[in-house]
Amino acid sequence: MVQLSINGKKVTAEEGEALLKVARREGFVIPTLCYHELLGSSGRCRLCVVEVNDAGKKRVVASCLYPAKENIEVFTDSDEVRLVRRTVLELLLARNPSAELIQHLAKQHGVTEVRYTPDQDKGKCILCNLCVRCCKDIVGVSALGMSGKGPMKKVGPPFDEPSETCIGCGACVVICPTGHIAMEEEKGVRTVWQKKFELAACPKCKRYHLPLFQLEWISKTRNIPVEELMVCEDCR
Amino acid sequence: MALSLKQLDSITSAFNAKEQAYDKIIRVCCGTGCITSGANRVLEGVLTAVEREGLSSKVLVKKTGCHGLCERGPIVTLGNDEILYQSVGKRDVAADVDLLLKTVTEGKVADKLLFRDSARKEKYTSSLDIPFYKGQKRIVLAMNGLINPEEIDDYIAHGGYRAPFRAFQMTPEEIIDWVTKGGLRGRGGGGFLTGRKWSSARAAKGGLKYVLANGDEGDPGAFMDRSLMEGNPHAVIEGMVIGGYTIGAQQGYIYVRDEYPLAVSRLTKAIEQARDYNMLGHDVFGSGFDFDLEIYRGGGAFVCGESTALMSSLEGKSGEPRDKYVHTVEHGLWDKPTNLNNVETWANVPHIINNGLDWYTSIGTKKSTGTKIFSLVGKVNNTGLIEVPMGISLREIIFGLGGGIRGKRQFKAVQTGGPSGGCIPEQHLDMPVDFDSLTSIGSMMGSGGMIVMDERNCMVDVARYFLRFLTEESCGKCVPCREGTRRMHEILDRICKGAGKIEDLMHLEELGKALQWGAICGLGQSAPNPVLSTIRYFSDEYKAHIIEGRCPAGVCKEITTFTIMEEKCTGCMRCAAECPMGAIIGEKKEPQRIDDLRCITCGICYDVCSFDAIKIG
Amino acid sequence: MEINKEKLDEIILKYGRDKAHLLAIFQDVQKEYRYLPKEAVRHICMRLGMPQVDGFEVATFYKSFSLKPRGKHTVHVCLGTACHLKGGADVLLSFMRELKVKTGETTADGAFTLESVNCLGACALAPLVRVDEKDFGKTTVAQSRNIIRDFTDHH
Of C80, C124, C142, the CB nearest to B580: C142
Interior/surface letters B299-327, b for 16+ CB within 10 angstroms, e for the rest: bbbbbbbbbbbbbbbbebbbbbbbbbbeb
Interior/surface letters B551-575, b for 16+ CB within 10 angstroms, e for the rest: bbbbbbbebbebebeeeebeebbbb
Q: Please report which helix (H) or strand (E) contains residue B559, including its range.
A: none
Report the distance separating Cα A128 and Cα A141, nearest Å.
19
Residue type, C70: R
Pair (A139, A224) in one structural domain: yes
Q: Which of B165, B162, B294, B146 is nearest to B232 (CA)?
A: B146
- Do you know the residue count of chain C? 155
Percent of chain A with pLDDT over 70: 100
CATH number where A33 lies: 3.10.20.740
Q: Same CATH fold, C73-154 and C5-61?
A: no
Helix, strand, coil % in chain C, rounded to nearest 5: 50, 10, 35
From chain A, pick out residues whose CB is under 8 angstroms from the CB of B476: 127, 148-153
**CATH topology classification for C5-61:** Arc Repressor Mutant, subunit A (1.10.10)
Pair (A147, A215) in one structural domain: yes
Pair (A7, A44) in one structural domain: yes
Report the distance separating Cα A39 and Cα A33, nearest Å.
12
Q: Which of B376, B375, B352, B354 is nearest to B364 (CA)?
A: B352
Q: Please report which helix (H) or strand (E) contains residue B180, including its range.
A: helix B172-181
Distance of CA B447 to the CA centre of its chain: 7
CB within 8 Å: C135 and B32: yes
- Rounded to the nearest 10 degrees, how much is the dihedral formed by the CA atoms of B157, B161, B166, B170? 180
For residue range B524-535, what is the model confidence (pLDDT) as tens digits?
999 999 999 999
Burial (Cβ within 10 Å: 0-12, 13-18, ≥19) of residue B395: middle
Distance of residue B353 Cα from the nearest chain C Cα, in angstroms: 30
Pair (A15, A96) in one structural domain: yes
CB C78 within 8 A of CB C119: yes
CB within 8 Å: C61 and A147: yes
CB A181 within 8 A of CB A194: no
Of A143, A147, A165, the CB nearest to C57: A147
Of all residues in chain A, the one with the smallest CA distance to C39 is A159
CB within 8 Å: A159 and C57: no
Pair (A43, A93) in one structural domain: yes
CB B593 within 8 A of CB B608: no
Spatial CB neighbours of B530, under 8 Å, sequence gap ≥ 6: B415, B419, B421, B422, B423, B462, B463, B466, B467
Domain residue limits, chain C: 5-61, 73-154
Last residue of a domain, one of A108, A143, A163: A108
CATH class of C73-154: alpha beta
> How does DSSP classify residue B499?
-
DSSP helix/strand/coil, B441: coil
Spatial CB neighbours of B44, under 8 Å, sequence gap ≥ 6: none
From chain C, pick out residues whose CB is under 8 angstroms from the CB of A127: none
Q: Which of A127, A9, A4, A7 is nearest to A66 (CA)?
A: A4
From chain B, pick out residues whose CB is under 8 angstroms from the CB of C119: 218-222, 259
Residues in A lying within 8 Å of C, measured between beta carbons: 132, 136, 142-149, 157-159, 163-165
Task: Write a three-state SS string for B290-314.
Answer: CEEEEEEECCCCHHHHCHHHHHHHH
- Asked if residue A116 is part of any domain, the answer here is no
B471 Ramachandran zone, left/alpha/beta (phi>0; psi -120 to 50): alpha
Tally Cβ neighbours within 10 Å of residue A159: 18
From chain B, pick out residues whose CB is under 8 angstroms from the CB of A91: 479-480, 483-484, 487
- Asked if residue A114 is part of any domain, the answer here is no
CA atoms within 13 A on the CB side of B50: 22
Report the distance separating Cα C10 and Cα C16, nearest Å.
10
Residue C123, pLDDT score: 87
- When pLDDT is cut at 50, 70 and 90, the band that residue C155 belongs to is very low
CB within 8 Å: A142 and C51: yes
Last residue of a domain, one of A75, A108, A141: A108
Spatial CB neighbours of C31, under 8 Å, sequence gap ≥ 6: none
- Asked if residue A121 is part of any domain, the answer here is no
Pair (A46, A103) in one structural domain: yes
Q: Which of B362, B396, B525, B552 is nearest to B461 (CA)?
A: B552
Task: Write a three-state SS string for A92-159.
Answer: HHHHCCCCHHHHHHHHHCCCCCCCCCCCCCCCCCCCCCHHHHHHHHHHCCCCCEEECCHHHCEEECHH
CB C40 within 8 A of CB C29: yes
CB within 8 Å: C27 and B37: no
Report the mean per-residue pLDDT for chain B: 94
CB B385 within 8 A of CB B136: no
Residue A170, pLDDT score: 96
β-bridge partners, B546: none
- Asked if residue A182 is part of any domain, the answer here is yes
Cα dihedral B182, B187, B188, B189 sign: positive
CB within 8 Å: C60 and A149: yes
- B474 interface with A at CB cutoff 8 Å: yes
Residue-range definition of the domain harbouring residue A195: 130-235
Residue B80, pLDDT score: 73
Q: Which of B86, B125, B131, B93 is nearest to B108 (CA)?
A: B125
For residue range A101-124, what is the model confidence (pLDDT) as tens digits?
999 999 999 999 999 999 999 999
- B518 interface with A at CB cutoff 8 Å: yes
- Asked if residue A154 is part of any domain, the answer here is yes
For residue range B115-163, what is the model confidence (pLDDT) as tens digits?
998 777 889 999 889 999 999 999 999 999 899 999 999 999 999 999 9
Last residue of a domain, one of A78, A108, A138: A108
- B302 interface with C at CB cutoff 8 Å: yes
Residue C154, pLDDT score: 55
Tally Cβ neighbours within 10 Å of residue B423: 26
> How does DSSP classify residue B2?
P
Task: Report, as ranges of residue numbers, the positions in chain B whose pLDDT lies below 70.
Answer: 1-2
Report the distance separating Cα B428 and Cα B430, nearest Å.
6
Of all residues in chain B, the one with the smallest CA distance to C15 is B296
Phi then psi dihedrals of residue C135, to 5 deg? -100, 140
From chain C, pick out residues whose CB is under 8 angstroms from the CB of A167: none
- Residues C112-122 have a mean pLDDT of 91
CB within 8 Å: A92 and B471: no
Per the structure, the count of domains in chain A is 2
Report the distance separating Cα A46 and Cα B247, nearest Å.
35
Pair (A6, A68) in one structural domain: yes
For residue range C72-96, what is the model confidence (pLDDT) as tens digits?
999 999 999 889 988 999 999 999 9
